[in-house]
């Protein structure tokens, strides 16, 4: 599949997730940590998505074509997605004493899920 479409689908999936989960999970946690209203800084959000799309293209795609994952490329994507999101969340938990285990689990599983779905679409 054309990678522009793949990147677009990833962005749509993640935007839907953020729209649904911000009022349910993210807003309260981050407002508790920063002691103020949750505000997104778009320049950093854009940079984060550039990096994530770069990982999809430069890491997941080549990895999924290796002998180990060629018959199930979505597994390679999922492992990378889980790793990225887990490192982010575990780093937050190591820095912020009030970062909850629920956030680590839910958000890391989201990374696994969204990257696996993209791997299934991109194969």
- Closest by CA to 1, choosing from 77, 50, 55, 61, is 61
Token pair listed for 50: 């550039």
pTM of the model: 0.95
Parent domain of 19: 3-122
Q: Tens digits of per-residue pLDDT, 30-87?
A: 999 999 998 889 999 999 999 999 999 999 999 999 999 999 999 999 999 999 999 9
The pLDDT, as a whole number, for residue 1 is: 78
pLDDT more than 90, % of the chain = 96
Total domains, the chain: 1
pLDDT of residue 40: 86
List, in sequence order, the alpha helices (H) in the chain.
3-21, 27-34, 42-55, 61-64, 73-95, 101-122
Specify the pLDDT at position 53.
Answer: 98
């Amino acid at each position: 599949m054309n990678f522009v479409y793949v990147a677009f689908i990833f962005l749509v999936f993640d935007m839907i997730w953020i729209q649904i989960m911000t009022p349910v999970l993210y807003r309260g946690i981050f407002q508790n940590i920063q002691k103020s209203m949750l505000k997104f800084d778009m320049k950093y959000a854009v940079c984060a998505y550039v990096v994530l799309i770069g990982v999809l293209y430069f890491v997941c795609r080549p990895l999924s074509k290796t002998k180990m994952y060629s018959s199930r490329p979505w597994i390679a994507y999922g492992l990378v997605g889980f790793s990225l999101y887990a490192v982010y969340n575990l780093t937050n938990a190591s820095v912020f004493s009030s970062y909850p285990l629920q956030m680590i689990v839910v958000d890391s599983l989201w990374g696994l899920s969204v990257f696996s779905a993209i791997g299934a679409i991109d194969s």
